[in-house]
Amino acid sequence: MGNHRPVSERDAFEFFGLSSASVSSLASVFQWILGGKIAAQNQRAAEERIDACAALRQIEGMKRKTKRKPDMMDPKVLMAYDRWVAKNLDEMVRKHPGKFIAVYRNELVAVGDSYKEVYAAAEKRGIEEPPLTMQVPTMEDLEAIL
């Protein structure tokens, strides 16, 4: 085997017939090309992140629009309705057995044959909040419970 000595940059330049100035120029060209590719990749990645953020904002906006008030009644209002029913149940069983009623602010506002009917009648009267709607038990139902 022959003697191998390390090759210097100068030897490599001379072997390829390049001067140090031309190598420096080539290095600049390679950096420019690679830099452009990297910059383009970075720009694409940034655009994808922007698109993803915009999509998330749009989804979040949709969530906000679809949010609605809970269907639960305020416990204090519910307790007031409970007191009204306890006070007026006997009369309702006598006058409206098996019928559906709507009560709003301690007042009987509708009597009908279905929830839909009494709810519509309450809305027709201009009541915006949901009234208490229930089916009045018959005397037989009441006797079976007690």
Q: Are 36 and 97 part of one and the same domain?
A: no
Q: How far is CA 127 from CA 59, 84, 103, 124, 131, in A?
A: 34, 18, 11, 7, 8
Write out pLDDT tens, residues 22-72.
555 555 555 655 555 565 666 666 667 666 666 666 666 665 555 555 567
- pTM to 2 decimal places: 0.50
Decide which of 66, 97, 114 is a domain's last residue: 66
Write out pLDDT tens, residues 83-127.
999 999 999 999 999 999 999 999 999 999 999 999 999 999 998
Q: Are 59 and 84 part of one and the same domain?
A: no
Does residue 118 lie in a domain region?
yes
Q: Whole domain around residue 138: which residue ranges?
A: 75-145
- Structural domain count of the chain: 2
* Paired tokens of 94: 């006598």
